Chains A and B, each alone.
Chain A
Amino acid sequence: MSKYFEIRWHGRGGQGAVTGAKSLAECVQGTGQTVVAFPEYGPERRGAPVRAYNRFCKEHIRIHTPVTVPDVVIVIDASLLTLPMVKEGILEHTIFLVNIEKTPDQVRKILGIENRVITIPANELSEKLFGRAIPNSAMLGAFAMACPNIISLEVLLREATHVFSELVGADLVEKNLQAIQLGHDNSHAG
């Protein structure tokens, strides 16, 4: 196992995988860890599968290569679950965090794996809050539920206050904090 905690995000162009990785890194930075976030570099096409990556570590992070052996796989768009790339390089301990209105068991069946799965209906939650599907903040809350050793909900909410005030402006901070809380409370682990 690498000394780095490594995350691979899967989404479709325009859904916010890159912003999600960036926001998560900015929040985790507040825990004193060294962070890295970067997208898979390629042509930007709305709707096409995209990947983004995070590395977190207590030490300086020297490597820049894409994450090939993820500790966590975050899937923002459930239609990607059938693609082999989602399962690339996973180990027994790899956790899947999936934006879907299904149970962890159902997702395990789709993926054909035994790994730990956290599901979260982030689209539904964000539709209620924002009137459209912008799942990122709820996904962050679910991440804090899945990996409290990396960032606890309490610290996430604190850091997100700063991060979101720069990203979306002060007026939308409160709603995003709510989304984080709801994401945390409504995720299903199994």
Chain B
Amino acid sequence: MKHVAGKPKILPITGAGAMAQAMRQINPDVVAAFPITPSTQIVEDFSQFVADGKVDTEFVTVESEHSAMSACIGASAAGGRVMTATSSAGMAYMWELLYVAASMRQPVLMSLVNRALTGPINIHCDHSDSMGARDSGWLQIYSENNQEAYDNLVMAARIAEHDDVRLPIMICQDGFIISHSIQTMQIEDDAAVKAFVGAHKPYHPILDTKNPVTWGALDLQDYYIEHKRGQEQGMKNALRVIEEVSVDFAKKFGRKYNLFETYRIEDAEIVMVAIGSAAGEIKEVIDELRTKGEKVGLLKIRSFRPFPYAQIAKALSHAQIITVLDRSASFGAHGPLFVEITTSVYNYCDNRPLLLSHTYGLGGRELSMQMIEHVFAESRICLDKGEVNGRQGMWLNVRGD
């Protein structure tokens, strides 16, 4: 990539390539990673930057994701700014350590490329990997396209490392659909990104041998729960910090983000709620249906952890039916997004809309615009009837259903 100092560059680049560019600009102290499809290009590109001397990063080529996250936690506790990238089974193999990173309050920055979990064996997009980790204590920010994924990663350090937060963060993008798709986007100037991200401030680092500390100690009935309560406080504070950092980002780079995005919902009777790349197709369908007079809109999740219950409830306070699309399944229960939206609406506002839950896109099954249009039409039928019975919890575009 050619670079002109001081100027952003508009160029076509894959979602994974954009993440590697953000990592190059952030120039972390340590990256420990083990490549896995579809996040491989992030690690490949970044290791090239290391080899070419474009970053000062210590790149640790570990033998597994379990070791990758272990190395990240150790390097973070030592006082470094630390990043990694993974997907699916890779993150599943980090599982034990995800909780350790969060409980040790190490603000590790992860670029997660969402992919289905095996089995059956599948490498394509769904949100099972990150949704399964929703209770691990990591902040989770989701992206609709390459630009958002890049912007979110540029904002990640400021959010995760904030004194009031101090929690690890995963910036999620849809596997293949975004990670392998070349899209026109804007890469900001290196120096501008560097200035925005700022220097890393180590927090009681192990390497400060004059002030020795212990990290990751045994913590039983006496204090464990206080430390967990502290994590929860960090999450609660993160809602404010995400907003603050996003406002600052908009001032600096012009692109505005919030805890979630609303699209044409002011007078919408039917509101679809979704996460990730599907929002693009949904917006396209909304524009089409609006020309026919259908009052439809979208609420797209950006921050899933922490979940902005009150803010979302307010945004949905005029909707008559809310149709939630989950790209992961919680077998024997409704999808995780539906559960959160229901909690949000029924506890944080007086509106009592119909709520319709659908699961879609597991293992990369396409969500076509025709299907989205169908779901809007179905939502309209439910609204006219005043009930969703029989349709609740249906999976979209599945043989035999």
Contacts and interface: CB of A to CB of B under 8 A. Distances in A.
Main secondary structure of the interface of A (DSSP, over half): mixed
Interface string A1-32: 00000000000000000000010011001000
Contacts, number: 58
Given A26-B12, A41-B124, A61 B184 contact: yes
B181 A63 contact: no
B181 A62 contact: no
A29 B11 contact: yes
Interface in B173-208: 176-178, 180-184
B364 A64 contact: no
A29 B11 CA distance: 7
Contacts of B392: none
B366 A39 contact: no
Interface string A33-63: 1111111010000000000000000000111
B163 interface: no
A62 B283 contact: yes
Nearest to A60: B184
Nearest to A38: B181
Contacts of B281: 62-65
Contacts of B280: 62-64
A66 B369 CA distance: 11
A44 to B, nearest CB: 11
A34 B178 CA distance: 16
Interface in A97-129: none
Nearest to B276: A64
A35 B180 contact: no
Contacts of B2: 162
A61 B182 contact: no
B64 interface: no
B184 A65 contact: no
Nearest to A40: B176
A166 B178 CA distance: 22
Contact of B364 (A22, A35, A37, A41): A41
B311 interface: no
A64 B184 contact: no
Among A36, A39, A65, A66, the most chain B Cβ lie within 10 Å of the Cβ of A65
Given A62-B281, A63-B281, A22 B182 contact: yes
Contacts of A64: 145, 177-178, 181, 277, 280-281
A179 B124 CA distance: 36
A63 B285 CA distance: 10
B298 to A, nearest CB: 11
A138 to B, nearest CB: 22
A41 B183 contact: no
A35 B366 contact: no
B296 to A, nearest CB: 15
A37 B369 contact: no
B284 interface: yes
Contacts of A41: 124, 176, 180, 364
A38 B178 CA distance: 9
A29 B181 contact: no
Contact of A35 (B1, B12, B367): B12
A62 B284 contact: yes
Nearest to A33: B184
Contacts of B145: 62, 64
B343 interface: no
A162 to B, nearest CB: 8
Interface in B280-296: 280-281, 283-284
Contacts of B397: none
B368 A65 contact: yes
A35 B184 contact: yes
A61 B280 CA distance: 8
Interface string B365-392: 0111100000000000000000000000
A39 B145 CA distance: 16
A25 B181 contact: no
B20 to A, nearest CB: 15
Given A29-B11, A37-B182, 18 more contacts: A33-B184, A35-B12, A35-B184, A36-B182, A36-B183, A36-B184, A38-B180, A38-B181, A38-B182, A41-B180, A62-B145, A62-B283, A62-B284, A63-B369, A64-B145, A64-B177, A64-B281, A65-B281
19 contacts: A22-B12, A25-B182, A26-B12, A29-B10, A29-B184, A35-B182, A35-B183, A35-B184, A39-B180, A41-B364, A62-B145, A62-B283, A62-B284, A65-B281, A65-B366, A65-B368, A65-B369, A162-B2, A166-B1
4 A-B pairs closest in CB distance? A62-B280, A38-B181, A37-B182, A41-B176
Interface of A: 22, 25-26, 29, 33-39, 41, 61-66, 162, 166
